[in-house]
């Protein structure tokens, strides 16, 4: 979900995990993405939740900038 936003989540040469997790949790709550667990691959989510993840990628990009 955060791949398009990685450039904006950088802190120097590293990724700021705290900001990344916060953005991820925000998008999961905002779009009400549900599934068996946070670490599950997107392919194991329902079709509707897979669509929400695709949408979240681009909404996260807009919000992180």
Each residue's pLDDT tens digit, 36-64: 887 889 999 999 999 999 999 999 888 75
Q: How many domains does the chain have?
A: 1
Q: Give the whole-angstrom CA distance, residue 5 versus residue 39.
A: 19
18, 2 contact by CB (below 8 A): no
Q: What is the DSSP string of the chain?
A: --GGGHHHHEETTEE-HHHHHHHHHHHHHHHT---S-TTS-GGGS-HHHHHHHHHHHHHHHHHH-
42: CB partners within 8 A, 6+ apart: 50, 53
Which range marks the domain in which residue 55 is found?
Answer: 3-64
pLDDT of residue 45: 94
């Amino acid at each position: 979900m955060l791949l398009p936003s990685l450039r904006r989540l950088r802190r120097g040469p590293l990724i700021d995990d705290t900001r990344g997790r916060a953005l991820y949790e925000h998008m999961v709550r905002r779009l009400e993405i549900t599934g068996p667990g946070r670490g599950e691959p997107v392919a194991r989510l329902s079709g509707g939740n897979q669509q929400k993840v695709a949408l979240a990628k681009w909404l996260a990009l807009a919000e992180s900038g």
